[in-house]
Amino acid sequence: MARIVHYINQFFAGVGGEDQAGAGPVLLEGPAGPGRRLAELVAPEHEIVATVWCGDDVAADKVDEIVGLVRSVDPDLVVAGPAFTSGRYGLACARVVAAAHSVGVASVASMHEDNPGLDEAGAAAVVASGEVARRMAPSLERLAAGIQRLLAGETLTAEDGRIGAAARLTVVTDDNAATRAVDLALARLGGDSAATEIPLPRFDRVTPAAPVADASTVMLALVSEGGLVVADNPDGLESARATKWLRYPLEDRDALAAGDYMSVHGGFSTAWANEDPHRILPLDAARELEAEGAIGELLGEYFVTTGNGTSVANARRFGVEWAADLRRSGARAAILTAT
């Protein structure tokens, strides 16, 4: 019977919400939260002997402590998640399985393919989950199937729901290393600058704009991914996985009154933001700077979306559209508030 340790966050451990986001890590005996169902799915061949949980705010920086607790139980496999599209949780799950994999402990995480933490898993296995927690049941079933295959000594593939970077496998070729090296050198000399046996991931490189020399001479815009919309969200901005962005007027407005605005962001407790919307969009401070002449003027509207599990493709599109719109408006600087 294989020994499994399950990593989850404070929500799924039943410890608390954002009030416990800075707590942990803690080692518990046996399964907890969704691990109870996962334990049923992998039994009787395998057993979840322990659970490690940690608060989302600190988990990504406490991976060494988390893995230390995991290794203290001497597991055959480390399992993390499902994290769905949760950014902080997904990042922690990915780093935990990557760290475990690096010290020779078999590991597998579960998250959605749009989770921003996916790439952090490195060579460790990741199987796809649903987008949100209401897809917990099928996500656990797929994870359990992946666990069974891994513990049987098999390699997970896309057919098993594996996502993320493909595992690098050792293969035997007809040509030895010297021959292949010469072939690559000749290809490069012949002008093929992309020739390689190990393609590297491609990342966007954005050249930052030059700093504003004198803010007192330019129009400043306020933009946010904090999900701050007018009360009751009449335009239907999503609380997660946003597919659109919105604009709202600021002309003739010096402050954002509580009750007139609300945050629909699904990635944090919005109580404080709703109590004082300036915690998301600093209109009050911007108006003071405008009155003092520290900035030339404030754009008469603000742009907003929800940066919670938003796909890279949509985020890139939002950025392009915002930049184009701001250029047309005459704004030459922006304050982007993130959460």
Q: How far apart are CA 275 and CA 278, in angstroms?
A: 9
Q: What is the pLDDT of residue 281?
A: 97
Query: At 164, is the pLDDT very low, low, confident or very high (cuts 50, 70, 90)?
Result: confident
Would you kindly state where each structural domain of the chain is located, as residue ranges?
2-160, 215-337
List Cβ neighbours of 158 (8 Å cut-off, separation of 6 or more): none
pLDDT in tens, 50-84: 999 999 989 988 999 999 999 999 999 999 999 99
- Phi first, then psi, for residue 288 (nearest 5°) are -65, -45
- Single-letter amino acid, residue 207: T
Query: Do strands 219-224 and 297-304 pair parallel, antiparallel, or not at all (unpaired)?
Result: parallel
Query: At 147, is the pLDDT very low, low, confident or very high (cuts 50, 70, 90)?
Result: very high
Task: From the options 1.20.1050.10, 3.40.50.2300, 3.30.70.100, 3.40.50.1820, give the CATH code of 2-160.
Answer: 3.40.50.2300
Q: How far apart are CA 226 and CA 221, in angstroms?
A: 15
pLDDT in tens, 180-197: 999 999 999 999 988 888
Average pLDDT over every residue of 17-46: 95
Q: What is the pLDDT of residue 62?
A: 94
Q: Of 9-13, 109-113, 159-163, 303-307, which range is least confident?
A: 159-163
pLDDT in tens, 200-234: 656 667 788 888 999 999 999 999 999 999 999 99
List Cβ neighbours of 267 (8 Å cut-off, separation of 6 or more): 86, 87, 88, 240, 307, 308, 309, 339
Q: How far apart are CA 35 and CA 41, in angstroms?
A: 10
pLDDT in tens, 240-283: 889 999 999 999 899 999 999 999 999 888 999 999 999 999 99
